[in-house]
Amino acid sequence: MPRIFGCKKFIRLTSEQEDRDLNPSEERFLSRHREVCEECAQVARTTSNALNMLRLAAMEPEIEPMFEDRVIRKLKVQQVKESLNYWSPALVGAAIACAVIFVTLHLASSPTQMKRANLNSNEARRETPRLELDQPPVLR
């Protein structure tokens, strides 16, 4: 009759066997315990069958052709969109500054159009407009 301690160790090693290679002493323990304890041997077979069925039922994803290219292209487009969003305020500010500079240069380079009046010896005069109402109306 097997001891409870041996059964617990057997179940632990059986589960670890799927994840790592057991050393020779652990392998010997498992084979001896299977011979002695029918319940543990049955649990090991059931566990092994269940794992094999899960492996068979595992679905492998079907990757469409050119899938990677589409994903990479979408990532590149997203990066470009994000970079434009990042720089757009600076670009708008630069465009406004350029427009202001061009208008200022244009105004500074164009000569001012002044109506030249009869000026005596470089004096500036202000002419007041004459209105017809300044003179009394002539009645006929």
Residue linked to tokens 């994000």: 82
Residues 45 and 71 grouped into a single domain = no
Residues 48 and 9 grouped into a single domain = yes
Of 136, 114, 111, nearest in space to 127 by CA: 114
Residue 10 forms part of a structural domain: yes
At 21-74, the pLDDT tens digits run: 889 998 898 888 888 888 888 888 898 888 888 888 777 777 788 888 899 999
Residues 47 and 84 grouped into a single domain = no
Residue 66 domain boundaries: 61-108
Amino acid at position 118, single letter = N
Residues 21 and 37 grouped into a single domain = yes
Contact 6, 33 (CB under 8 A): yes
Q: How many domains does the chain have?
A: 2
What is the Cα–Cα distance from 124 to 95, expressed in whole angstroms? 41
Residue 133 forms part of a structural domain: no
Residue 12 forms part of a structural domain: yes
Mean pLDDT estimate for the chain: 79
Residues 12 and 45 grouped into a single domain = yes
* pTM for this predicted structure: 0.37
Residues 43 and 69 grouped into a single domain = no
What is the Cα–Cα distance from 97 to 103, expressed in whole angstroms? 10
Judged against a pLDDT cut of 80, whether residue 130 lies above it is answered with no
